[in-house]
Structure 1
Amino acid sequence: MDKNIDIATETRTNWFERQFKIKASGSTIKTEIIAGITTFIAMSYILFVNPTILGDAGLDKGAVFVATALTGVVGCLATAFIANYPIAVAPGLGSNAFFAYPVVLGMGIPWQTALAGVFVASLLFMLVTVLKVREVVINAIPTNLKAAMAVGIGLFIAFTGLKQGASSSVVLNHLSPLRVGQIRTFWLTVFGLIVTVALLARKVPGALFIGLAATAIMGVVTGLIAMPHSIIASIPSLAPTFGVSIMNIHNVFNVQMAVVILVFFFSVFFDTTGTVIGLAQQAGFIKDNKMPKEVGKALFTDSTSMIAGSVFGSTPTACYIESSTGIAAGGRPGFTAVVVAIMFVLSLFFSPLLAVVTSQVTAPILIIVGSFMMKSIANIDWSEFETSFAAFMIILCVPLTYNISYGLAFGLITYPITMIAADKGKKVHPIMYVAALLFLLLLFTMHELPAK
């Protein structure tokens, strides 16, 4: 009997290693579980933000909650089993706000039709991915710009953590980028930051997750975070949104919807590409300025989840920058994403508990991870002005515009201009010229898109 148990255990272990290459990547199952939970906690806000935003557009909030979780399950499992990457995929911020406010409420387009537009945009996204257009674009980007994307996104993450964690305590104003107001709510973020930094300094395994848990517990103990009244909640019905996009696809064939579809397409194309590059830089996947084949698979899984999400009843998906928290916790192969998918499933039954994980709880992690990603700045050759200035524009504009797409636009438009001025225009890959023109179009078409 014991021998049979040992054989069964060995078989499961071998399957895990064949599928995810956990040991080969230098990770362990325990590390992957911690990394997956850490990533999920950092991005779990989307389960509540997405229904709120799309609810303003008339969609059923309960259905959107389920659609958001299921889309996350599909996206994360696809990333895990197809690409074997620790990148979490779920409905993204920014595109949902564009969907709800300028499109549905501003332009008066029925949400059913707008959702059909998301479905068409996802099909276009799948097409360019299958044709490997995105992968070619990524490999055409110079090393300096790739490194700048990681740094810019790192600052973006840190700034996001400061804004979310501080909430009413740190706000934007016309006198300075940030100012501190009510310190009472901000102190929980400060507590979490101190605890987590101390754990990291002492090289405690799972420091990020422990810091998150300690901050949440402190919030509950002090009364700054309210305990939920119940633990288990019934799963809302998906019926109000499921399949609506397909049933209304005949309504998208007009000029107005063509513009909407293009905005969705360009936004997701550039935003996700930049995020994947930044995360790949952080995880050390980019070698000799080339993206490995698995990254192309990761881009494919993103387009797959986008189609699934539009059918469930949600807006375009994104590779989450919060995946950097799991990568920082040691997550490397796709089992990290499997754990995130499992957490999304569990969230359907225990959604009240997610209320304990407030923005003040996740903020310290985002700030710290932002500092981790700054190391890529060492890969920028500042002596080469014609590319380093474009890199500088990316680093400057991603956090200051609070929009990854805008930040990339300013940098990649600047790059061919400086290269031509330096009589090096022939060294610029043709794709980079096309990308510059597309980014110009992006800036014109996305002028009403809320910052991500």
Structure 2
Amino acid sequence: MLKFFKFAEHKTNLKTELIAGFTTFAAMSYILVVNPMLLGNAGMDPQAVMMATAIAAAVGCFLMAFMANYPIALAPGMGTNAYFAFIIVLGMGIPWQGALSLTFWNGLIFVALSASGLRKQIINAVPKGLQVGIQAGIGFFIALLGLKAAGLVEASPATIITHGDFTDPIVLLGLGGLFAICALTVWRIPGAIIISMLALAIGGLFVLNPASPEGSSQMLTTLPENFFALPSGLGETFLQLDWFYPFTNLESLQVLFVLLILDLFDSVGTIIGLSRRANLLDANDELPRANRALSADAFATICGAMLGTSTTTSYVESAAGIEAGGRTGFTSVVVGVCFLIALFFYPLIAAIPSLATAPALIFVGLLMGEGLRHVPYEEYTERVTAILTAITIPLFFSVTHGIAIGFLLYIFLRVTSGKAKQLHWMTYAIGAIFLLFYIME
């Protein structure tokens, strides 16, 4: 094992890798609570999704460990899971079986792109400002969902949107959870999100559930009869995807295209960023075995879709394990094993109320929005398209339309300012695809 993962070459040891793995798991384990709740909104069985989430995460971690030997953990991604549930299924009316099929084909195409030069061309074709704007826009979209779930914002006929009732214990719990996550993050305590969730779950033992029948004394959190048991019902989602949905419903191809764009930027950006943090880049500032790492990411998405979950991707929370000294794929193996062990604690995980996930959504959304600081603000075209994309995604409640508006505006400004020749041919191709989607609508 020591020889396979090259501990000596990476100047690490078993103890350090174990600690790094536990640290990364603590930082990202919240997905076991959040993902079933989000995809449950799409009509999927929460128990089945929880099992699919844990197994997909474990498979992804093992693939990254044995294919690329990097300390990068994978799990169903935040952002794409919200896009899956609230836009693809609830917004566009695509059945979740069809959405899983779109995720599956996205993974297959990603594998093909990773084995060719097209992947790099597509990434180079999307301007830096747009890349950041897309990520931030999805972050703000997730944050909006979290604010709504916590009762911190609500619809208003007078002002479109307004704040919630700050005398409501539910709202105060949600706000307290958000403050707790931020404070723990500032104090550099690993697992800030899951700690906050557990604290809210405990607080929920003393707060009445507003959804309970009148006169009932049911609390927000109800302790399970058994603390240890495996979730059931994986058969509800395993291999339940509508395999050829994109080809029998051509209008869904725009969703497949957006999933691919999101997966490319998210995976490449996260893997390169984490590798730089771990000093794994070579003398040319390039990542050795990059294609293996990206292929592992893509194969994880394929496996995740077959199990019954949204896009599986590399997690930026892997940085916590890297900070703890993780340098090899053994860190990822430890994370994968932890996800499998977590399955036995399903009753405790299921007891965490949905309110506890709201601060996590807000916080993760804010983290994704931080990317706006990387926009080349000195260039007007870059900054205006980045900001417009970031704003329109949550306001349109559509990732597709937000990206399309940003792309078309960028091309329009470049062409009208006499800089048409500076654009990559792939940029025009992507713009034409989005324009075609509008015409088809």
TM over 0.5: yes
Q: Deviations over 1:261-283 (max 9, x none)?
A: x2452232022234336646875
Q: For residues 345-394 of structure 1, give each alpha carbon's deviation from its aligned partner in whole angstroms, at most 9, with x where no partner exists.
A: 23432211112434433443444454445554333232311222212222
Q: Measure how far apart 1:427 and its partner are.
A: 1.0
Q: Post-superposition shift, 1:138?
A: 1.5
Equivalence for 1:270:
261
Q: In 2 relative to 1, CA 357–15 (structure 1 residues): closer, same or farther, beyond 3 Å?
A: farther
Amino acid at match of 2:228: I
* Residue 256 (1) aligns with residue 258 (2): no
The whole-number CA distance in structure 1 between the counterparts of 2:233 and 2:9 is: 34
Matched, 1:224 2:208: no
* 1:102 partner amino acid: G
Give the letter for the 2:264 counterpart.
T
Q: Match for residue 351 of structure 1?
A: 346
Separation in 1 of the partners of 2:200 and 2:363? 14
Return the letter of the residue paired with 2:260: F
Q: How does 1:340-379 map to 2 (within 5 A)?
A: 340-379=335-374
Change (3 A) 1:263 1:407: closer
Aligned to 2:406: 411
**1:380 correspondence with 2:375:** yes
Q: Distance in 1 between matches of 2:200 and 2:155?
A: 25
Task: Determine the C-alpha separation between the residues in 2 that align with 1:254 and 1:365.
Answer: 32
The answer to whether the 8 A contact 1:150-1:278 is kept is: no
Q: 5+ residue gaps in structure 2? A: 208-218
Alpha-carbon distance, 1:104 to partner: 4.3
Out of 84, 99, 108, which is 1:95 matched to? 84
2:226 maps to a residue whose letter is: S
In 1: Cα distance, 2:433 partner to 2:350 partner: 40
Contact 2:27 2:193 in 1 (8 A): yes
Structure-1 residue corresponding to 2:390: 395
Question: 1:7 is matched with which residue?
Answer: none
SS of aligned partner of 1:35: helix
Contact 1:230 1:352 in 2 (8 A): yes
Aligned partner of residue 171 in structure 1, secondary structure: strand
Mapping of residues 149-160 of structure 1, within 5 Å: 149-160=134-145
Distance 1:54 1:22, change over 3 A: farther
Counterpart of 2:61 in structure 1 is 76
Deviation of residue 156 (structure 1)?
3.9
CA distance in 1, matches of 2:33, 2:343: 12
Q: Do the aligned partners of residues 235 and 255 (structure 1) sit closer, same or farther apart at CA in structure 2, a change above 3 Å counting?
A: closer
Q: Kindly report which structure 2 residues correspond to 1:5-404, keeping only aligned pairs within 5 A, or say none.
A: 12=2, 18=7, 29-42=18-31, 44-50=33-39, 53-55=42-44, 65-83=50-68, 84=70, 86-90=72-76, 92-95=81-84, 98=88, 102-104=93-95, 119=104, 122-164=107-149, 166=150, 168-174=151-157, 175-181=159-165, 183-204=168-189, 207-220=192-205, 223-236=219-232, 238-239=234-235, 242-243=238-239, 252=244, 256-260=248-252, 262-276=253-267, 279=270, 283=274, 285=276, 292=287, 296-312=291-307, 314=308, 316-319=310-313, 323-325=315-317, 327=319, 337-404=332-399
Corresponding residue number in structure 1 for 2:210: none
Displacement of 1:46 in angstroms is 1.7
Residues 206/440 of structure 1: CA separation in 2 closer, same or farther (3 Å cut) = same
TM superposition score normalised by structure 2: 0.74
Secondary structure of 1:181's aligned partner: coil
Q: Residues of 2 paired with 1:68 and 1:318: CA distance? A: 9
Residue 422 of structure 1 is aligned with which of 408, 412, 417? 417
Give the length in aligned residue pairs. Answer: 413
Cα distance change of structure 1 residues 424 and 270 upon mapping to structure 2, 3 Å threshold: same
Q: Deviations over 1:138-161 (max 9, x none)?
A: 133333334434544443444343
Greater displacement, 221-230 / 364-373: 364-373
Unaligned runs of 5+ in 1: 1-10, 106-110, 448-452
Specify which structure has the higher proportion of helix.
1
* Identical counterparts, % of pairs: 25
Deviation at 1:121? Answer: 5.5
Structure 1 residues 42 and 393, CA gap change in structure 2 (3 angstroms): same
The Cα shift of 1:430 comes to: 1.2
- Counterpart Cα distance in 2 of 1:18 and 1:294: 17
Change in CA separation of 1:276 and 1:125 when aligned onto 2, cut-off 3 Å: closer
CA shift, 1:99, in A, is: 5.5
Q: 1:255 to 1:146 in 2, by over 3 A?
A: closer
Q: What is the CA-CA distance between 1:184 and the residue it aligns to?
A: 1.4
Structure 1 residues 341 and 159: alpha-carbon distance in aligned structure 2, compared to 1, 3 A threshold = farther
Query: Which segment drifts farther, 327-336 or 83-92?
Result: 327-336
Deviation track 1:230-255 (CA, whole Å, cap 9, x = no partner) reads 2223443545655565xx86xx4996
Give the direction of change, closer, same or farther, for the CA distance of 1:204–1:231 in structure 2 (3 Å limit): closer
